[in-house]
Structure 1
Amino acid sequence: MTPTKLIMIGAGGHARVLLSALGRAGLWPDACVAREPPPDAWPASIAYLGSEDALTSLDRDSVRLVNGIGTVKTTTARRQAFERAKALGFTFASVIDPAAFAVADAVIGEGAQLIAGAVIQTGSRIGANVIVNTRAVVDHDGIIGDHSHIATGAALSGNVTLGRGVHVGTGAAIIHGIDIGDEAVVAAGAVVVRNVAARTLVAGVPARALKAMTPG
């Protein structure tokens, strides 16, 4: 049987965070693809294959991908990279930092990433290609839609539901039982006490709608 190779998409800041998580888990990428060559600080042991177009020449059955593209406000670029690779027939590896905690009954989707200090509590479901970033919390029975990003230090109380492609900013807090619609953005530091409509940017304490977001 051909050994499985691990290929990283991207070589920026989020990709370097994932390298740390993978290394602590005893894993390491064989190569990466990215729009531009990696920075000088990129490990020399990880070969640069070129842009994402290089994926077309790889054997889908002997490669697993890691999505190293992060998100700052919208999750569109990360989602698109995932969907392009899936359309080519690739599978994504989930990344769970040994310093993250997920209860045994939590469901973790394909390509999801739990960064150091992340906490996933009982009954929660984490969708495909989701990032639960450093010290972010999803409390009991949370449902996190595909391609969403819960940024550093954000806290979701119990029974919170995020749609697809939601970005929850650094240090935001969402109270119990709130629903957040697809592709909504919760600004850093916001405190969400009411449901949020799809493709809406909310900010403030308490959070209020500021504008509609362009569909991604």
Structure 2
Amino acid sequence: MCSKPVIIIGNGGHARVLVDILFMQKREIIGYTAPNKENNPYSITYLGGDEEILKYDPQEIELVNALGSISDTKPRANIFNFFKLKGFRFSTTIHPSAVISETATLGEGVQIMAGAVIQPFVNIADNTIVNTSTCIDHDCFIDKHCHIAPGCVLSGGIKIGEGTHIGTGAKIIQNISIGKNVLVGAGSLVLRDIGDNKKVYGNPAKEVSK
């Protein structure tokens, strides 16, 4: 595990969950960035806006992308891409209670929350969140900048495109393909493939207007 100190980008609810994991890992936290100074229940130092990160040597620190996403993953992706172009690296953050197969592959900056289960030969690309108590079964591929929200169940062989948000408690049957920039509503049951840039909701999930 990397021992470099970290800077946290953001100070919302998702940041609190990540800080809790970082404390468990005994990682050194330099501080957090946000547009304005806000209350921080962990008493972590406010560094200023995100531009303050550029004062640090990219070889000496790692970043933690603490922007969550309720439906739109683009702000989180923009943060990741901007600082990668500046030479920074993002920490892969994993809660100790997560169960992850040794054959699973996790990209840079992936975040795995408490109680998640990642089964054999799952591939999760950069900057994706697998949130609390989500189960991802064998041979799934999840592309960059996705958010698999709390309590989701993904059966085997599923493919999910870049920037897609799978809402809380959604369930997806085996061998389904979901395109990029898709929003799957909370509690939905996905029984069919979904193309790019769609919004689906319901049991079974059906397309609705964005």
CA–CA separation in structure 2 for the residues paired with 1:131 and 1:7: 18
Q: How does 1:148-187 map to 2 (within 5 A)?
A: 148-187=146-185
Aligned-partner SS, 2:108: coil
Equivalent residue, structure 2, for 1:47? 45
By how many angstroms is 1:40 displaced?
Answer: 4.4
Aligned-partner SS, 1:61: coil
CA–CA separation in structure 2 for the residues paired with 1:160 and 1:38: 39
Change (3 A) 1:5 1:27: closer
CA–CA separation in structure 1 for the residues paired with 2:23 and 2:47: 21
Equivalent residue, structure 2, for 1:22? 22
CA–CA separation in structure 1 for the residues paired with 2:167 and 2:205: 12
Unpaired segments ≥5 residues, structure 1? none
Aligned-partner SS, 2:75: helix
2:144 is the counterpart of 1:143:
no
Q: Is the 8 A contact 1:164 1:183 kept in 2?
A: yes
Aligned residues: 208
Q: How does 1:2-151 map to 2 (within 5 A)?
A: 4-41=4-41, 43-44=42-43, 46-151=44-149
Equivalent residue, structure 1, for 2:206? 208
TM-score (norm 1): 0.93
Change (3 A) 1:40 1:108: closer
- Structure 1 residues 24-60: Cα deviation after superposition (integer angstroms, max 9, x where no partner): 222242211111213142x22x221111111121111
CA–CA separation in structure 2 for the residues paired with 1:28 and 1:57: 18
Q: Is the 8 A contact 1:19 1:28 kept in 2?
A: no
CA–CA separation in structure 2 for the residues paired with 1:68 and 1:199: 24
TM-score (norm 2): 0.96
